[in-house]
């Protein structure tokens, strides 16, 4: 205990080391405590040697990992001969977390201690990064600076999600990413194995799942959806896709285990099951293939099928958690289905939300009987949360907050954790899923919401970075989108907020990107980052600022921004329509009247609109600007059509503007929607000058 107390006294001044621009050691994720002392430990021979007191399989796994590392250490069979001693310490009270570790480098050698092999493994990842910064060639690094490090994770779930349904990624790609995950101390791989575009895991009882739906005649997901979402078999000359055999799955799970990564499978239900119903149409409400993507909850055969699938999935994955999806189900199908309606009557369910919860509860009970826990996207809250379910909050933080306050565990993975968003100006970047999320935006996210008290905060298990593959057709594109933002996910999950510094982290991230490029990764380069939409960086002052706005047609409750003040608050939108600066109008026109309080000279009226047709966001068909002195009798002063093609897939921003010399008190700005049901108009500010 005296030794432990002395160690912490030495650590008191360390926090400042994390805040310097080029801190040494420059680590991702950054440790909880670091002290750099004067001096360098020099190896006893030309190569640093190590000794580990791990035994059995743990020792074999650890030795195998070190043997394949770029840093060439040599194992020795006696502690006295070793430069580095990896020690299991079950007495130190500060090493109670199985992933915690301690490193001390001084003139006597390099002492590494942890309570488990996982802790020693993570300590080695830290030492490896130190060695890379110490020597120009890490392979021959045989000396390390004097350091004291104590490290423990802030959160237990530090995950990476990969969608292999929309585009298929082979085992080599997955292993390549898993190696990097381990380096950055990520410990959960969420494997999205089934979804509308393809079933990717062999189920021996139902071979038709992969025979009929693992391949399609179009490579690009967008082309497949545009051409009817039909599947083909593997023998088709145009066939694209693939699946993992159960042996493949076991290989990946074992590969991940050795890297201290748990693989969490996702088997989607009851929605996102277009592919299931293409292979087994009898499980749908209509009994027909290619009709919809929701399983029939009123059909008992649906539950037989799901249990049979799970009976083959569970033995392949030791994970305590099994993800069942549960998101974005089109529940209107169940409202029209006779079997579903009978189920609702028999179970006294008041609506289709409760019907979905009925399925979730039955599946949860089955998983619990097998010693597993149910995990699902935050839609599983609707209709009543199952007793022991864990929620993955993706539609913002609300799902995670509600779950934690109700005593349920949650994993936070909102929009800033979506790695398939553009990471720079979306007009210049490869097409993303829906917005712009920079490295800084991801890094600044705190997965533990401040509204939660201490008890509730303990239900936030962690954070996860998601990759959805709608617009990611190749491994190179996937890596470009993953790196560097996965570094921020790793640090947000591991490092306590007081030790975070974006300046320090940014420098470390670029160093890591340079390293990855030497290994053949294609990554984003922070040196050429453009940043957010320039208009959003500076408030705009104009005559309508803070004035009363009357909405002749309401904005959508989904995208309220700042409410009635949004269009005259001086704030213009970022590249991301989801960040609360853009106001959304669904299906109908955007039509507002602004009261300037008194008749005044006006010379310009302008508003900007966005187009992202992959998100059903379009430019207006036409804009009409009118003015009035009394708010009743308006005179049209400008009418402007739009010449932008609605099918243009680019991310576009355009101002529709009148300029001239007029006097008026009221300004009416009317943007006419293009008539597509479900389409959106988005604008950020009506500027009157």
pLDDT tens profile 10-50: 444 444 444 444 567 899 999 999 999 999 999 999 999 99
Which of the four pLDDT bands, split at 50, 70 and 90, describes residue 459? very high
pLDDT tens column, 558-598: 999 999 999 999 999 999 998 899 999 999 999 999 999 99
pLDDT tens column, 591-640: 999 999 999 999 999 999 999 988 899 999 999 999 999 999 999 999 99
Name the β-bridge partners of 610: 653
| CB-count burial class (<10 Å; 0-12, 13-18, 19+) for 224 | buried
What is the topology classification, in CATH, of domain 157-327+365-528? Answer: TIM Barrel (3.20.20)
The CATH number of 2-151, from 3.40.50.2020, 3.30.70.920, 3.30.70.20, 3.30.379.10, is 3.30.379.10
Mean pLDDT confidence for 399-427: 96
- Look over the chain and give the mean of its residue pLDDT values, rounded to a whole number: 95
Residue 435: the pLDDT is 81
Q: Which of 193, 346, 211, 219 is nearest to 273 (CA)?
A: 193
Inform me whether the pLDDT recorded for 262 exceeds 50.
Answer: yes
Residue 502 contacts residue 442 (beta carbons within 8 Å): no
Check the CA dihedral 34-189-434-578 and report its sign: negative
Task: Please tell me the distance from the alpha carbon of residue 251 to that of residue 188, in angstroms, as a whole number.
Answer: 16
Check if 300 is active-site: no
Residue 20: the pLDDT is 41
Catalytic hit among 272, 333, 408, 459: 272
Residue 4: the pLDDT is 44
CA angle 130, 132, 133 (to 5 degrees): 65
Residue 500: the pLDDT is 97
| Lowest-confidence region among 95-99, 140-144, 248-252, 431-435 | 431-435
Architecture of domain 534-688: Sandwich (2.60)
Q: What does the domain layout of the chain look like in residue ranges?
A: 2-151, 157-327+365-528, 534-688
Residues, the chain: 689
Which of the four pLDDT bands, split at 50, 70 and 90, describes residue 318? very high
pLDDT tens column, 335-350: 999 999 999 999 999 9
Half-sphere exposure of 50 (CA within 13 A, CB side): 24
> Above pLDDT 90, what percent of the chain?
93
pTM of this structure: 0.93
pLDDT tens column, 118-157: 999 999 999 999 999 999 999 999 999 999 999 999 999 9
Catalytic hit among 104, 132, 195, 266: 195
Residue 24: the pLDDT is 75
Alpha helix positions (H), 444-560: 454-457, 475-482, 485-494, 502-518
Check if 195 is active-site: yes
pLDDT tens column, 171-225: 999 999 999 999 999 999 999 999 999 999 999 999 999 999 999 999 999 999 9
Check if 272 is active-site: yes
Inform me whether the pLDDT recorded for 434 exceeds 80.
Answer: no
Task: Count the Cβ atoms, other than its own, within 10 Å of residue 534.
Answer: 10
Q: Which of 132, 111, 129 is nearest to 120 (CA)?
A: 111
- Beta strand segments in 3-153, E: 33-42, 49-52, 74-75, 84-88, 101-106, 109-114, 143-151
Between strands 548-551 and 143-151, the pairing is unpaired
Q: Exposure string (b/e) for 376-412, b if CB count within 10 Å is 16 or more?
A: bbbbbbbbebbeebbbbbbeebebbbbbbbeebbbbb
Residue 23: the pLDDT is 63
What DSSP state is assigned to residue 436? B
Between strands 390-393 and 590-611, the pairing is unpaired
Residue 376: the pLDDT is 98
Residue 385: the pLDDT is 87
Catalytic hit among 63, 328, 525, 640: 328
């Amino acid at each position: 205990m005296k030794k432990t107390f002395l160690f912490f006294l030495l650590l008191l001044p360390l926090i400042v080391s994390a805040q310097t621009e080029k801190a040494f050691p420059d680590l991702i994720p950054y440790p909880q405590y670091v002290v750099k002392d004067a001096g360098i430990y020099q190896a006893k021979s030309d190569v640093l040697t190590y000794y580990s007191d791990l035994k059995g399989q743990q020792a074999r796994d650890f030795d195998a990992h070190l043997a394949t590392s770029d840093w060439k250490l040599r194992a020795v069979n006696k502690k006295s001969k070793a430069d580095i001693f990896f020690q299991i310490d079950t007495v130190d009270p500060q090493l109670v977390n199985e992933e915690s570790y301690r490193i001390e480098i001084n003139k006597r050698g390099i002492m590494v201690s942890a309570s488990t092999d996982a802790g020693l493994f993570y300590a080695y990842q830290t030492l490896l990064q130190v060695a890379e910064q110490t020597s120009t060639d890490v392979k021959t690094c045989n000396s390390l600076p004097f350091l004291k490090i104590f490290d423990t994770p802030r959160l237990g779930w530090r995950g990476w999600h990969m969608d292999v349904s929309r585009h298929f990624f082979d085992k080599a790609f997955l292993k390549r990413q898993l190696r990097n995950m381990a380096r950055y101390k990520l410990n959960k791989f969420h494997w999205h194995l089934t979804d509308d575009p393809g079933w990717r895991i062999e189920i021996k009882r139902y071979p038709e799942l992969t025979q009929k739906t693992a391949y399609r005649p179009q490579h690009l997901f967008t082309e497949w959806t545009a051409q009817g979402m039909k599947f083909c078999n593997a023998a088709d000359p145009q066939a694209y896709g693939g699946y993992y055999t159960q042996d493949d799955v076991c290989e990946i799970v074992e590969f991940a285990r050795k890297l201290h990564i748990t693989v969490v499978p996702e088997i989607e239900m009851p929605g996102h099951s277009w592919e299931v119903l293409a292979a087994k149409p009898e499980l749908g409400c209509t009994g027909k293939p290619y009709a919809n993507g929701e399983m029939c909850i009123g059909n008992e055969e649906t539950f037989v099928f799901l249990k049979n699938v799970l009976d083959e999935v569970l033995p392949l994955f030791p994970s305590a958690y099994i993800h069942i999806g549960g998101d974005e189900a089109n529940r209107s199908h169940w409202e029209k289905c006779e079997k579903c309606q009978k189920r609702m009557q028999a179970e006294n369910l008041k609506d289709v939300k409760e019907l979905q919860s009925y399925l979730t509860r039955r599946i949860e009970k089955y998983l619990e009987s097998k010693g597993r826990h149910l995990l699902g996207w935050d839609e599983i809250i609707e209709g009543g949360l199952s007793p022991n379910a864990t929620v993955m909050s993706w539609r913002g933080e609300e799902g995670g907050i509600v779950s934690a306050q109700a005593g349920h565990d949650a994993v936070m993975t909102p929009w800033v954790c979506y790695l398939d968003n553009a990471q720079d100006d979306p007009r210049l970047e490869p097409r993303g899923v829906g917005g712009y999320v920079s490295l800084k935006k991801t890094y600044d996210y705190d997965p533990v919401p401040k509204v939660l008290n201490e008890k509730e905060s303990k239900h936030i298990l962690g954070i996860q970075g998601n990759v959805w593959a709608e617009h990611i057709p190749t491994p190179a594109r996937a890596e470009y989108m993953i790196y560097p933002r996965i570094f921020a996910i790793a640090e947000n999950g591991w490092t306590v907020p007081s030790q975070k510094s974006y300046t320090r982290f940014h420098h470390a991230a670029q160093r890591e990107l340079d390293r990855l490029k030497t290994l053949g990764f294609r990554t984003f380069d922070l040196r050429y980052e453009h940043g957010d939409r320039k208009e959003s960086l500076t408030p705009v002052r104009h005559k309508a600022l803070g004035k009363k706005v009357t909405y002749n047609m309401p904005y959508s409750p989904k995208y309220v921004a700042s409410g009635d003040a949004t269009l005259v608050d001086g704030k213009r939108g970022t590249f991301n329509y989801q960040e609360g600066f853009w106001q959304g109008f669904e299906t109908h026109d955007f039509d507002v009247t602004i009261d300037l309080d008194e008749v005044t000279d006006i010379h310009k009226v302008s508003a900007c609109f966005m187009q992202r047709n992959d998100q059903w966001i379009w430019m207006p068909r036409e804009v009409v600007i009118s003015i009035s002195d009394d708010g009743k009798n308006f005179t049209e002063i400008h009418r402007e059509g739009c010449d932008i093609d609605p099918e243009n897939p680019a991310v576009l921003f355009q101002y529709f503007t009148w300029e001239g010399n007029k006097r008026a008190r009221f300004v009416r700005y009317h943007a006419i929607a293009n008539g597509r049901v479900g389409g959106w108009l988005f604008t950020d500010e009506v500027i009157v000058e």
